[in-house]
Amino acid sequence: MGDGTLIVQSARGATYDSGEDLSDIVKNLNPRWAVRSRVSQTPGTRLWSLSATVDQTQGDKSTEEDIPLGLPWGDFIRWFSLARISNPWIAPVHGKTRFDLNRDGVISSFLNPQGQHLVILALSGLRNVSTSLQSDEAGNVVARVISDSNAKEEATILVAMGDDFRRAMAATMYQARDLVVALAYEDAQRQPGVSEFDGPVRPEWREDWYDGLGYCTWNSLGQQLTDDKIFQALEKLRSSNLKVSNLIIDDNWQSIDHRSDDQFENGWLDFEADSRYFPRGLRYTIRRIREENPHIQHVTVWHALFGYWGGISPNGRLAKSYETVDIMQRRGIGEDPGQIKTTTVIAKDDISRFYQDFYRFLSLSGVDGVKTDAQFMVDTLTSSSSRRELTNAYLDSWNILSIRRFGNKSISCMSQVPQIMFHTQLPHNKPQIVCRNSEDFFPDVPSSHPWHIWANAHNSILTRYLNVLPDWDMFQTVHDYSAYHAAARCVSGGPIYITDVPGDHNLSLIQEMTGQTIRRRTVIFRPSVVGQAIDPYIGYHDDVLLKVGSYNGGSETGTPILGVFNVSSRRLTELIPLASFPGIGSFCRYVVTAHAAHTISRPIKLDDPSALLTVVLDVRGYEIFTAYPTLSFNPGENKEVLVANLGLLGKMTGAAAVAGSKFHVAANGRLQLDTDLKALGTLGIYISHLPTLTIDDDFIATISGRIIPPGTVSISKRDEHVLEIDIETAWKEVGQPVGWSNEVDVRVYFTLKK
């Protein structure tokens, strides 16, 4: 670990008007950039947009140009970027006093000794122009611009400065959203394409999709997928009493021409499943899955944006039914451009009809969601005319028609391409969908596991602003890193899928992530704010714990959550201040639980000298801290009672199991808690004067108005200030019928003054 850096910030007003021009901030600012000051939508920041004219394409070749920008402040102490590590994926890159970025960066942020942050965002997808950030030999920021337009266009960069990184980041993203939406509206007026949502979009309960535990066939069943393998796997899940809510049938169900052992060479033949491995067809497979597993609410199937990895087979039924075109594209997914190959795809004029027919077939077969992979393929086309004609046509048709048919039950995958992120994912004018947030989970590559969590946490710094729910990918519950991955998925705020080998499950770990609803569905406890790395400038090899901040509930009244992960190769010890938690209130007192250590703190607040949490983590170690806000009641005689709803105990993010919570003094003088829970489990309540109370004399609790049996209420063996109520056992003993609600209505009354 290197030496630390002390940053002393000066006091500045909320308007953050330093009077400086951007040329005073960026040394040697290239005059080719036209600079315009913008009104920032976040307090304490300044914002500029920069534009530079780029030439049109020459022939059928994209115009490429490097346009120098300058050097932030002339020097800085740390920098952080999110850059493309391959065609489909982005990942974090870090550095200190010299900017050294040889990949295409989407965003870069710089920190100076005065604690100021300069965030630079390169916009892509605006009228066929893509812009990225790199460095030159002297360490200056350079914009790499690629234009596929047949007219002169402008490259656009947004720059924001502030004392708070999050606010500066938000300033650029909010402005980018406004620019993208405005430009899309102008283009739609000139060239109407696929109509927006002129038909009804089926409303969905979010619990049914985002909040259900999923099972994916990819790592679990391998690439030789058959209907029998799926049936047998689900039977083993049932025998383990593991009732998943969502099933994802991944790659290898489709009818493929198998021209090669290389999947990138194989094309799609027909909508129907491969008759060799699904001999009774897709509809039979889905019907049997649903009949034998009524707890499975949703079935999703995989397909590539172009149909399959190798597009459409020129000899299949699809090629005969739809107009096709042969395109030239770079092969593969890595940085190496690889060889150029010819691929058959659906032509522009038939893309919408193709997706409409395919999704109608899936819907009639019982499928109600899609995972659309290999979306980066639109960025591998070598012809500028093909890129101009097909990129947005495919992205718009897929996005609109998948949402129209399946609602929000779409997963966008391998789509961390700047053009896709800004054109398709940034606008908030359509339902939010799930989007894979990083490169894949690789169970057999030990070094990949800490990096997987690291990359996802940092990528979320950007993707949290998109109109997507970041998906940290599937994982296996029986694995050296299984609990590590489980904790990361829980604090991510995204969906959770497992891909266990059939019959090989860690049920206790699954119980830490999930709960059973009163309708016997298995749900996860997803914080309402997605998790992200809270220290953007800390490098992967700095031997510092990764902290992932999340939050559940409303502003000021919600629950901050902090996941902590050891990504290094040695044991680490740190003191973590309460101020590290996102959304901590200045005046509130919190009780902080540690999930793995099974501890709870005394009430602490932000300005307490002792508001520090000690954490010691071995290799592969993790901890999840949850800061529960307390409420204060004064029963008189200079006494104070502090209370907090701890949600479901024993769950990694049990605070997110609380759908509603309210403490108030009842007419009889007792304190009353009204809370709604998303699932059954053990409810925890922190009560500061609990040691002076008795369960028999001072408590009464109800479920939907019925008295809870006294035997289901106890005082925690871990802390004498925590009351535990076994809601699951109480529900069974009370025999409460299931009503219209999915939630458990619990009321607890207890003595306030003793």
Please state, in angstroms and rounded to a whole number, the distance separating the CA atoms of residues 185 and 192. 10
β 246-249/214-216 pair status: parallel
Longest CA pairwise span in the chain (Å)? 87
**Which of the residue ranges 179-188, 442-451, 516-525 would you say has the lowest mean pLDDT?**
179-188
pLDDT computed for residue 206 by the predictor: 47
Average pLDDT over residues 581-594: 96
Residue type, 127: R
Does residue 736 surpass a pLDDT of 90? no
Q: How many CB atoms lie within 10 A of CB 500?
A: 25
Mean pLDDT of 657-673: 94
CA distance 122 to 427: 16
Asked if 625 and 592 touch (Cβ cutoff 8 Å), the reply is: yes
pLDDT attached to residue 637:
73
Q: What value does the CA radius of gyration of the chain take, rounded to a whole number of Å?
A: 27
More confident residue, 18 or 493: 493
What is the identity of the amino acid at 149?
Answer: S
Output the six-digit token pair for 59: 């022939």
Q: How far is CA 726 from CA 27, 241, 684, 731, 738, in A?
A: 63, 20, 9, 9, 18
Handedness of CA 213, 218, 219, 221 (dihedral sign): positive
> What are the start-end ranges of the E strands in 460-519?
468-471, 497-498, 514-516
Where do you find CATH 3.20.20.80 in the chain? Answer: 206-436
pLDDT at 446 over 80: yes
Q: Where are the alpha helices (DSSP H) in 679-746?
A: 695-698, 727-734
Percent helix, strand and coil across the chain, each rounded to 5? 25, 35, 40
Cα separation of 391 and 453, whole Å? Answer: 31
The answer to whether 294 and 320 have CB atoms below 8 angstroms apart is: no
Q: Please classify residue 737 by burial: count the beta carbons closer than 10 Å to its beta carbon, then call 0-12 exposed, 13-18 middle and 19+ buried.
A: exposed
Mean of pLDDT values over 286-308: 98
Give the HSE-up count for residue 330: Cα atoms under 13 Å, Cβ half-sphere.
18
User: Rounded to 10 degrees, what is the CA torsion of 447, 452, 454, 460?
Assistant: 170
Q: Which pair of structure tokens corresponds to residue 201? A: 């979009």
State mean pLDDT over 524-543: 98
Neighbours of 239 (CB within 10 A): 10
CA distance 284 to 544: 52
The model's pLDDT over 200-247, given as tens digits with 9 standing for 90+, comes to: 555 444 456 889 999 999 999 988 999 999 999 999 999 999 999 999
Q: Which CATH superfamily is domain 206-436 in?
A: Glycosidases (3.20.20.80)
Residues 6+ apart with CB under 8 A from 576: 545, 547, 562, 564, 612, 613, 614, 615, 625
pLDDT at position 197 is: 46
Q: What is the pTM of this model?
A: 0.95
* Phi, psi angles (nearest 5°) of residue 550: -140, -175
pLDDT of residue 14: 45
Three-class SS of residue 437?
coil
